[in-house]
Amino acid sequence: MLLCPWGFHQNQMKPFERENNVERDILLIDYARKEGFTESLALRPVAKSIYNQVLNDIKKVSSGDIINCIFAGIEMCDVSFADEFIINLQKLVMSVDNALLRIMDANDYVQENLEGALAIRNKKDRTKICLLIFSNNNYTIIGDIEKNLKDTFSVIIANYQITAREIAQKYDIEINSASNRLKKLFDLCLLQRKESIDEMGRQHLYYLPK
Amino acid sequence: MDLFMPQNMYMNYSYDGLLWKISKIKSGDAVRLDLSKIIFIRPEAIILLIILSYEIFVKLNEPIEWININNEVHLYLERMDLEQLDFVRIQPVRKQIQWKKSKKDSFNLTELLIIKKPKDCEAVMKRTKEMIIKWFPDKVGQDYCRILPTLITEIAGNSLDHSTHGICYFVAQKYITSLSTKIVVSFGDSGIGIQKSLKNSNQWIANNDVYAIKKAFLEGASCRLDRSGGLGFHHVRAVLQKYGGEIIIRSGTGVISYNPKQDLRTNAFRNPLPGTQTVFIL
């Protein structure tokens, strides 16, 4: 019997069903060039224009979709751009069940400004929006989340998929609390999920795309 | 009519008399700007002169001549490539300057950089970074390179959005004193100013420039009808809190000065400055 690092029965989980997820890549450098920029993304009107172009190109975000927002080649992205483009894109993704936005190849400077934009927007609108960074095959979160959610997330990234029951066992908490933690992360669009049926019954399997 | 420019053209100084005279200029008047009192000039003064000249140019529809310029100030102006301004004519110096012109990059000053379109921001950021790396080839330079692009896009973005002819002027200069080395970065536009911009979306904004600047700078009030925006100044404040520095914003009759280590200082004058001017001391 295979055991996960914290001792769960890995063979209880169904293999990760990649075919359900459609990945869409948004190569931002291409859009930046169309706007006359070569290595930066700045200003709100530019962000609005790129947002409309992207919507036009990806047509529709559907349930289970993974949107990869790729910053390769972008040296700088200002807070206004981050707010108007990235945060609005995340809001759009959050409105679609089980969709996920991944920020990829964002350098420290871009990430710092994304963090700045999130902090101000969340404070101003009293919202709770976070972003998922995928870099070097590793996930991190930008934005303010509670410590217990951070801990839960770190458990998920160690194994890419998990159930509420496993979280409950790991932290010795009620299954409802574990389920709430995962649901919160899912609602923030930081995880995807699918239904899994095994000998323990029907449950949600929360995961991060590998 | 020759308008005498005051000796000190700092943002937080009063030049009410001068602004009042400019407000009275009528089409057909012959106006020149006399710079004879200026013996030392800073980036914000250059930007101010440009904005005032543009204001007069709009009224007269002919270029404004800057006259009686001190030799050193003249040399400074030469380094700034002011020939690119079609509404300014600089009177040649009376005494021929004998000094050899050095390469621009060897000075602690950028030329006048003009942002007319969003994509110009990138060129200005690149040029500024290039200069900063030459001025500070060490860690300090890296910090400046991290801060300045954000400040440039946020302030220039506001200017492009709210300026009548959509232009933002930009100058940066390195200052070395016995105690420290600083960069002064100055922006300016001849737009409608912060108060009128905010009134587009916030009818309740009081007819008070200081209040409007504070509302935009401290609370992130947005001038957009869809309530987007308003993050720029917020982020600028966060950057100053993190890295240190001071900002002075003058729009209309109001001026505020913010330094994270001090209380916010405000001042109000009688006559409005056209557009908005922003200065960073970093």
Extended strands (E) in A28-137 = 40-41, 66-70, 76-77, 100-104, 131-135
Residue B79 has pLDDT above 90, yes or no: no
**Cα separation of A65 and A166, whole Å?**
26
B68 sits in the region (left: phi over 0; alpha: psi -120 to 50; else beta) called left
Residue B181 has pLDDT above 60, yes or no: yes
- Give the model confidence (pLDDT) of A1-40 as tens digits: 333 443 333 434 343 444 467 889 999 999 999 999 999 9
Residues of chain A falling short of pLDDT 70: 1-20
Q: Do A44 and B146 touch (CB under 8 A)?
A: no
Q: Which of residues 25-64 of A touch B (CB under 8 A)?
A: 35-40, 42-46
| pLDDT in the model for residue A158 | 86
Residue B224 has pLDDT above 70, yes or no: no
| pLDDT in the model for residue B39 | 87
Closest by Cβ to A79, choosing from B121, B122, B232 = B232
Identify the structural domains of chain A with CATH numbers, from first to last. 21-142 (3.30.750), 145-210 (1.10.10.10)
Residue B239 has pLDDT above 80, yes or no: yes
- Give the model confidence (pLDDT) of B251-266 as tens digits: 999 999 999 998 899 9
Q: Is A105 on the interface with B (CB under 8 A)?
A: no
Share of chain B above pLDDT 90, in %: 41
- List the single best residue of A44, A49, A108, A129 to mutate versus B (max B Cβ within 10 A): A44
| pLDDT in the model for residue A21 | 73
| pLDDT in the model for residue A14 | 40
Q: Identify which has the larger pLDDT, A33 or B158.
A: A33
Averaged pLDDT for residues B2-29: 86
Average pLDDT taken over every residue of chain B? 86
Share of chain B above pLDDT 70, in %: 92
- Give the model confidence (pLDDT) of B93-147 as tens digits: 765 555 555 555 557 889 999 999 999 999 999 999 999 999 888 888 888 888 8
CB A15 within 8 A of CB A186: no
Beta-bridge partner residues of A194: A205
- The encoded tokens of residue B212 equal 């409007």
Name residue, tokens 């709770």. A128
- Band the pLDDT of B14: cuts 50, 70, 90: confident
- The encoded tokens of residue A121 equal 């927007």
CA angle B215, A89, A177 (to 5 degrees): 95
| pLDDT in the model for residue B96 | 56
| pLDDT in the model for residue B257 | 95
Residues of B with CB under 8 A from a CB of A: 117-119, 121-122, 125, 146, 149-150, 153-154, 157, 160-161, 220, 228-232, 234-235, 238
**Residue A179, phi then psi, degrees to nearest 5:** -65, -40
Global ipTM: 0.83
Q: Which residues, including other chains, have CB under 8 Å from residue B91's CB and lie 6 or more apart?
A: B65, B66, B67, B68, B69
- Give the model confidence (pLDDT) of B18-47 as tens digits: 889 999 998 888 899 999 998 888 899 999
